Chains A and B, each alone.
Chain A
């Protein structure tokens, strides 16, 4: 049997479980946090958003949190996720059941989300790390990017994919850890997580549209300095 020759590599049960866990803690939590921060741009305008960014950057050991709470988990979840995604042999044409479609879309949105996140990271946080822009310029930077209809559309695709991947992933997580066992529990869970998907997507889209507002156009350095006193 194939499995018996692989003593050397990490038992796939544990690597798969780690992948599942990291998708929720910390990545799922981070996604929700990111949505809430962005949503400030819609609900409280530029000042509210900047206040959130300043608060986040004031967290203790923020670089440590970023490395161990976001980047490394993302790397593992993304790379191992690609391995999982390309193992599946999709068959929705013959088995057009809802869950089989979800299974396929979980993998498609996973790949889209990974590409989107890598690009989004290199366009924002990496630029900050390289010293090309400051944290305080990000709002204006996003305004410029999102003013282009193509980028705006690509961002919509990216965030909807990420929201779906998270919500449907939560459904799978609850099954994979044995929390939702019976068909009724799994059905109710489906409704709840699809509701979460819709809410998450709507709030993200609202935040995106908020960034296109002219008030985000000019550099926000001044506002940050005011905030910091």
Chain B
């Protein structure tokens, strides 16, 4: 390592919070530069040596992470104003000081650890699974066309990371909108040849409070999704399906 990089420091401003009820505050950190560092690597540095930029001893910053390859969604946080995964946020590509905040659309547990439980509740509510249990062997399910499998696979990439909910202006404390991610899962499971058998039930669920109508078409979700899931296409497709369901029911078909 050259002396130049050795002397370089990375500046961080972390929005911290003791627990769910305490007030958030900002704390600055300076850590020695290493090439190819990601935000998690930087946070680990703070963990090893919990001293802030003023040289005061402090508590290490808490965060969550698992896979470190952007497939689990656990390390989502707001980095320089945009929600994303800390594991793929490379320090070399970020403007400094790097601003790190929790995705405060969700309840903040501590520092940048958030509770994404509402998303899992929504997935349960819309029954985002394929029911295959029977009292006897139901045999193989119907086949899925390859052309359909290809776009459905894109929807299955959702890792419930919560970035789309954080970006959505309609997901906030004033509404009970479930957000784009669980809605897109409704489309995924309705597209499955076996899951399709329960599609009316899923559509009925999202035609209730907190469901599809909460979308205001700001389309931030599709711009923010780290997996490039066509969330707004999913929502519009569900709009089409629920419109059909609406008329089918009214006309008693």
- Which residues from chain A sit less than 8 Å from chain B, CB to CB? 1-3, 6, 11-13, 16-17, 84, 86-91, 93-95, 97, 99-100, 102-104, 106, 171-172, 175-183, 186
* A2 with B218: CB separation less than 8 A: no
Q: Name B residues whose Cβ lies closer than 8 Å to a Cβ of A.
A: 81-82, 121, 125, 167, 169-170, 172, 174-176, 206-220, 223-224, 230, 232-233, 235-244, 246
Q: Are A89 and B169 in contact (CB under 8 A)?
A: yes
Q: Is the interface of B mostly helix, strand, loop or mixed?
A: helix
CB-CB < 8 A to A178: which residues of B?
Answer: 236-244
B215 nearest CB neighbor, chain A only: A176
Complex Cα spacing A186 to B239, Å: 14
Complex contact A11–B208 (CB within 8 A): yes
CB-CB under 8 A from B238, the residues of chain A are 178
Q: Does A176 contact B217, Cβ atoms closer than 8 Å?
A: yes
**A17-B246 in contact given A1-B121, A99-B219, A183-B230 (Cβ < 8 Å):** yes
Measured between C-beta atoms, what is the minimum distance from A16 to chain B in Å? Answer: 4
Q: Of A84, A180, A181, which is within 8 A of B216 by CB?
A: A84
| A17 vs B217: C-alpha distance when bound (angstroms) | 14
Taking the closest CB of chain B, its distance from the CB of A113, in whole angstroms, is 17
Q: Please, which residues of chain B bring their CB within 8 A of the CB of A6? A: 209
Q: How far is the CB of A35 from chain B (nearest CB, A)?
A: 25
User: Which residue of A is nearest B172, CB measured?
Assistant: A89
24 residue pairs bridging A and B, Cβ less than 8 Å apart: A3-B176, A3-B209, A6-B209, A13-B206, A86-B174, A87-B170, A87-B172, A89-B174, A91-B167, A91-B169, A91-B220, A99-B218, A102-B218, A103-B219, A104-B169, A172-B217, A175-B217, A176-B217, A177-B240, A178-B244, A181-B239, A181-B240, A183-B230, A186-B232
